Amino acid sequence: MNWLVPPTHLTLDIETAAGDPTEAEAALRWSFCPNPNWKAATIGERYLEALERKKERLALLDTAPIISVALRTPIDCRLLHWMPLDIPQISGVPLERLADERAMLQRLREYLETCGPETILVGHNLRHFDLPKIRLAMIRWGLRLPAWLANPDQPTYDTMTMWRYFSTDDRSMISLDECLTLAGLYSPKKIVAGADVPGLYQKGDYLAIAAYAIADVLAQDELYLWMTGQTSDRPVEQAAILPPPGPTEPVQADAPAPGDQTPAMVNVSNDISAILAEFGVS
* Three-state SS sequence of the chain: CCCCCCCCEEEEEEEECCCCCHHHHHHHHHHCCCCCCCCHHHHHHHHHHHHHHHHHCHHHCCCCCEEEEEEEECCEEEEEECCCCCCCEECCEEEEECCCHHHHHHHHHHHHCCCCCCCEEEECCHHHHHHHHHHHHHHHCCCCCCHHHHCCCCCEEEHHHHHHHCCCCCCCCCCHHHHHHHCCCCCHHHCCCHHHHHHHHHHCCHHHHHHHHHHHHHHHHHHHHHHCCCCCCCCHHHCCCCCCCCCCCCCCCCCCCCCCCCCCCCCCCCCHHHHHHHCCCC
pLDDT value at 220 more than 80: yes
Q: Which residues pair with 63 in a beta bridge?
A: none
What is the per-residue pLDDT across 16-25, written as a single tens digit (0 to 9) for each? 987 556 655 5
pLDDT value at 120 more than 90: yes
pLDDT value at 55 more than 50: no
Q: For residue 1, is it within any domain?
A: no
Task: Return the pLDDT at 217.
Answer: 94
pLDDT value at 123 more than 70: yes
Q: For residue 219, is it within any domain?
A: yes
Task: Return the pLDDT at 242.
Answer: 47
Domain extent, residue 18, equals 10-278
Lowest-pLDDT choice from 45-54, 84-93, 155-164, 174-183? 45-54
Q: Indicate the average pLDDT of the chain.
A: 79
Q: 36 near 73, Cβ under 8 Å?
A: no
What is the per-residue pLDDT across 259-275, written as a single tens digit (0 to 9) for each? 343 444 344 444 556 66
What is the per-residue pLDDT across 88-98, written as a single tens digit (0 to 9) for each? 999 889 999 99
pLDDT value at 166 more than 90: yes
Task: Return the pLDDT at 68.
Answer: 96
Q: 73 near 250, Cβ under 8 Å?
A: no
Strands 9-16 and 66-73, sheet pairing = antiparallel
Task: Return the pLDDT at 261.
Answer: 39
- 246 band by pLDDT with thresholds 50, 70 and 90: very low
Q: For residue 57, is it within any domain?
A: yes
Q: For residue 131, is it within any domain?
A: yes
Task: Return the pLDDT at 245.
Answer: 46
Lowest-pLDDT choice from 80-84, 213-217, 262-266, 275-279? 262-266
* CATH assignment of the domain containing 149: 3.30.420.10
User: What's the structural domain count of the chain?
Assistant: 1
Task: Return the pLDDT at 148.
Answer: 84
Task: Return the pLDDT at 258.
Answer: 37
207 compared with 264, residue with greater pLDDT? 207
pLDDT value at 171 more than 90: no
pTM for the whole structure: 0.77
- 4 band by pLDDT with thresholds 50, 70 and 90: low
- 280 band by pLDDT with thresholds 50, 70 and 90: low
Task: Give the rounded percent of residues in the chain with a pLDDT score beyond 90.
Answer: 48
Q: For residue 3, is it within any domain?
A: no
Q: For residue 4, is it within any domain?
A: no
